[in-house]
Every structure is written in C-alpha cells, then in structure tokens.
Amino acid sequence: MRLYDRTFASRLMLGTALYPSPAAMREAIVASGAEIVTVSLRREAAGIGKGGPGFWDEIRDLDLAFLPNTAGCHTVKEAVTTAQMARELLDTDLVKLEVIGHADTLQPDVFGLVEAARILIGEGFKVLPYTTEDLVVAERLLSAGCEVLMPWGSPIGSGLGLNNRYGLRSLRAQFPDVTLIVDAGLGRPSHAADALELGYDGVLLNTAVASAADPVAMARAFRLAVEAGRIAFEAGGMEPRDMAAPSTPVFGKGVLA
C-alpha cells in the first residue's frame, strides 16, 4: 500500500481509541499486522481516551508509523490548527484530514475538506482526506494535491459495511492509479474483504476491533480478511450471473432409452 512516498506491506490501518487498556491496544495492533496507527490529538490531549498516562509509551514502543487525524474538527480553521499541532508533536507530515459537517452521521463537510486540504498541502503536509464516494469531490481533492483518498464505507462507528457499493466501485474505476482506502463503518472482517475485493488498496478501522469482546482475536480476523480480499482481487473473481450455469458439462451425457 503506497501513501505518497512511502510503501507499507500491510493494507490494514488501525485506530487507537476505545480499547479497554493500553495493553489490549498493543496486543491488538501486533495481531493485526498493521504498520500504521491513527492518533486523535484532540482526544488524547483532552484525556478522553482510555489509554491513560501509558498511552503514548505503548504506541511509541511498537515502532509504527503515526497517522495523526483531525477527528472532532468541524471547521477548516480547527482542522488546520490541529494538523499543525500534530506535526509538531509527532514529527510527521502525514495527516488524516477530517472536517465533519453533520453531527449525527459524521459525514464530511466536503467543501471545508477541499479548502483545508489545499491549505495543508501548501504547507507541505501529505494529506489523507476522509471523504465521501462522490466523484466530483474526489476530483477537487486530487486537484488540490491529494495523492490518497479515504472514502467512507458507512458512518463512523456504525458497523454497516459498504453502504454504496456502486459509488465505491465507480470511484475505483474512475481513478485506477490513485491509492484508495475505505475508512469508517466497517464492522466485520467480511466488510474489509469486500472492500479489498473491489480493488481498494486498504482499509482503516477502529471500533470493530477495539469494542470486540476479544480485540486481539478480532484484529487477527481482520488481518486475514484483508489478505484474502486482496488475493481474491488479484486472482480475478467471477462476475455475477442472472442464470444458472452448470459446473458439470452436459455434452456426452449418457441417456437411458
């Protein structure tokens, strides 16, 4: 999976919120095989996360790539300022850009998203925008300088999977050379496999693993699902048919008089 000038072996990225303890978070990340973890600067700075004082030490000790995000930001100014602070704290130009436009669905404000992306890219950031599957918005973000797009599967934390397969499939077909990552709404490993089978380059998820009865086992399940989905895509899956097609040939079949 290629993110700007870096390549990662794993196509699964994990969030770091909602885990019952830093130890559980650490074990889940290891089991997932993820090489990138997202960090909400606003959440941890406010002490909202469950990580406690050992949160940062647990993550740093894993020697993974940090992807700070601007979760909880509802304006361009908030998002840009949060990204700037995250770069100073975590020493990375990568940022998952969120500008939330709707309080109930947490749908991105795509107008503010494009504006914030343009500002941050102008400041040297490598922006991964959390967006919808809208083709026009995708064009605007790419024109602003984004090299990665992160369309939602469904609302954050909903676990509904891929709500708009047609839209996601169209996005993949329209931009075959752009790194596309499904972000948000994946509740089961089968949802992740589905995204990879559509040709997406990776997935980012949090709640499905962190809130599972056994986060470590669920992280391992997602790891296997992502690997299976990618292999299936590269192998070339069969297209659905409207009629039955026998797998056993009928030519030469014996007939009893």
Residue 122 annotated as part of some ligand binding site? no
Mean pLDDT in residue range 210-234: 97
Q: Where are the domains of the chain?
A: 2-235
CA dist., res. 120 & res. 81, Å (int): 10
pTM for this model (two decimals): 0.88
Report the candidate in 5, 66, 8, 4 with the shortest Cα–Cα distance to residue 230: 8
Tens of pLDDT, residues 64-112: 899 999 998 999 999 999 999 999 988 899 999 999 998 888 899 999 9
Fold of 2-235: TIM Barrel (3.20.20)
Q: How far apart are CA 27 and CA 62, in angstroms?
A: 10
Annotated catalytic residues are 96
Max Cα separation, the chain?
A: 85
103 by DSSP, 3-state: which? coil
Give, in degrees to the nearest 5, the angle at Cα 17 between 15 and 20: 125
Query: Strand pairing partners for 3?
Result: 6
Task: Determine if residue 232 is labeled as part of a ligand binding site.
Answer: no
Q: How far apart are CA 18 and CA 50, in angstroms?
A: 6
Distance CA 44, CA 85 (A): 13
Tens-digit pLDDT profile for residues 172-214: 999 999 999 999 999 999 999 999 999 999 999 999 999 999 9
Contact 133, 170 (CB under 8 A): yes
Tell me: is residue 206 an annotated ligand-binding position.
yes
